[in-house]
Copies of this chain bind each other. A is one copy, B any other.
């Protein structure tokens, strides 16, 4: 299925061409308010466009303000960001609601299957009003799934869940998408979720598509400064290329000099990005394959999930993630001197200014 969306809606203004069968699992990634929900709603046929059109497999689904194929004929399973469960029905009735007539014969089986996939067995006959936030989210997912639609649109499907449930559901979801083969577009804010789920990530910022790429590419080689900010590259500073030799670029960034692979573009103004997990810390400089070794002072140590984040002023302010064990071994504390080491390929240059 090829989705071609060229149009505007509120803040959204996209030119998007994606094949959701080539990459069964797409993730829509972007900061809050960037238009992700709006995009899903346009795809689902709930919102018209202010201008432009949406084609699916060449067929016009929406043309400007005219919705040519109504939502109910699009055969899409949409998980609403705020769930939108029917409060007048039980959990089971909610899940059963969208099962097509043809499949009603095996209704019980399908409901069971969908609830199992959503890890939501055990509250089948409960009234919806009594569900907790996370329970409601799983039911909403089961309801979208039970239709066995030809496309799933999931708006933050796991945001209300606790970490262990989320992790296992995330893996199940990936498996489900690939075994069922139902093309899926999921919205997420969570990096791990994007990495686990996505075959391809679409980065949406401020209403426009900034990058469409493999998840690791997006997180390691963001296409521009906004993407770098959106995916949370911890260190991204303006610098300029001072020399290009042997496929290497020498970049001056704030008070420091670093080496990076020579970029394909010719401008010298660049944004220098390094992910905190690619920066190793050591007590002293040593002879390794790591091109860049900057001496600096620890300015802050803070927890970051299961890791510790160490901020270092090495002329240039950089951040590094290290394990607690490493932290103990290095006996780091605020004010310690430390060497930040990272390979040239970890440095990603983005044209800037």
Contact = CB atoms under 8 A, between A and B. Distances in A.
Interface of A: 10, 30-34, 36-37, 81-82, 130, 132-135, 138, 155-156, 159-167, 189-192, 195-196, 229-232, 275-278, 280, 302-307, 321, 323-325, 343, 346
B190 A229 contact: no
B195 A303 contact: yes
Contact of A160 (B10, B159, B166): B159
A134 B188 CA distance: 12
Nearest to A31: B162
A191 B190 CA distance: 13
B306 A191 contact: yes
A187 to B, nearest CB: 9
Contacts of A231: 163
Contacts of A189: 134, 160-163, 166
A162 B192 contact: no
A259 B155 CA distance: 46
Given A133-B82, A162-B189, A230-B164, A306 B276 contact: yes
A46 to B, nearest CB: 14
A136 to B, nearest CB: 9
Question: Would you call the interface of chain A mostly helix, strand, loop, or mixed?
Answer: mixed
Contact of A306 (B165, B166, B307): B307
Nearest to A278: B325
> Which of the listed residues A132, A135, A229, A232 has the most CB atoms from chain B within 10 Å of its own CB?
A132
B277 A306 contact: yes
A214 to B, nearest CB: 12
Contacts of A34: 132
23 contacts: A10-B130, A31-B164, A32-B161, A32-B165, A33-B134, A36-B132, A37-B133, A159-B159, A160-B189, A162-B230, A163-B231, A163-B232, A164-B229, A164-B232, A191-B305, A191-B306, A192-B303, A192-B304, A195-B303, A275-B306, A277-B306, A278-B325, A280-B323
Given A36-B132, A81-B160, A278-B325, 16 more contacts: A31-B162, A31-B165, A32-B135, A32-B161, A34-B132, A82-B133, A133-B155, A163-B191, A164-B232, A192-B305, A196-B302, A196-B303, A276-B306, A278-B324, A307-B321, A325-B346
